[in-house]
Amino acid sequence: MGLDITVMIVDWSWLGEAPPRERLSRLREAWYADETGLWDHDAPAVTGDWEWPRGPDAAFFAVYEFLRTCGSFKPHFWAGERWESLREHADPMVRTGLDTFLQGLIWDGPAGAAEHTDPGFFSDEPVASVDPVESLDPDEPGVSYGLLVGRSPDSVRELAAAWEGARPLLGGLRWAFDEHAADPAIRWFRDFEAFTGLLEEWGRILTEASRRGWGVVGLSE
């Protein structure tokens, strides 16, 4: 079974008011609430859109349904790999912005040590000691789920600003992608449009979260 990822934006006045070790439980209870949560309910008819819960927690979080990833983490990983292949050939301005943007979300960085989670997001302990986190599913308490992305509103604003600076310059990467990153042998991101399309979806997530003053969470089985 491949690694999956569920990405959501979360109202920080609701989640952040709880002690770090209680935040996952708060999110879990809202996610799995009978009739009003998101678990086991139909996804949006159109992907590339938001899915909101119902009931009393409807205003506190939303899940983003990516267009072509089918919930898999693999395309996000390969987007980072494609960036690794072309970044040295990119204009320094776009390279700086996308380095910040991607290291904050899905790319491990040139040294392979980037953290995608703010310290203390779901625990008072360092990130490494609480990853993977407990299962979100109350019916599967022994299943371990990883916290792949955990960004507070401050981090979200920084990443959104990096994205806004890099976004207008993406077109200038086409030649570098075609020359150094396009690989027909790899399923994900064989062309430039697919690569930039996923980046734009992450940009949409960050922009919406930043506009609301919310955090971003990415959980995976």
**Residues 144-184: tens digit of each pLDDT:** 456 789 999 999 999 999 999 999 999 999 999 999 888 77
Lowest-confidence pick of 22-36, 56-70, 85-99, 101-115: 22-36
Task: Provide the pLDDT for residue 123.
Answer: 74
Task: Provide the pLDDT for residue 219.
Answer: 85
Task: Provide the pLDDT for residue 133.
Answer: 40
Q: Provide the token pair at 2.
A: 């491949």
**49 within a domain of the structure (yes/no):** yes
Distances (CA, A) of 64 to 5, 80, 127: 10, 19, 24
Contact 162, 97 (CB under 8 A): yes
Instruction: Give 53's Cβ-side CA count (13 Å radius).
Output: 25
Residue 14 bridge partners (DSSP): none
3-state secondary structure 110-174: CCCCCCCECCCCCCCCCHHHHCCECCCCCCCCCCCEEEEEEECHHHHHHHHHHHHHHHHHHHHHH
**1 within a domain of the structure (yes/no):** no
Alpha helices in the chain (DSSP H): 12-15, 20-31, 74-86, 92-103, 153-166, 174-180, 192-212
**214 within a domain of the structure (yes/no):** yes
pLDDT band at 112 (very low <50, low <70, confident <90, very high): confident
Structural domains of the chain, count = 1
pLDDT band at 10 (very low <50, low <70, confident <90, very high): very high
Structural domain that includes position 196: 6-220
More confident residue, 187 or 173: 173
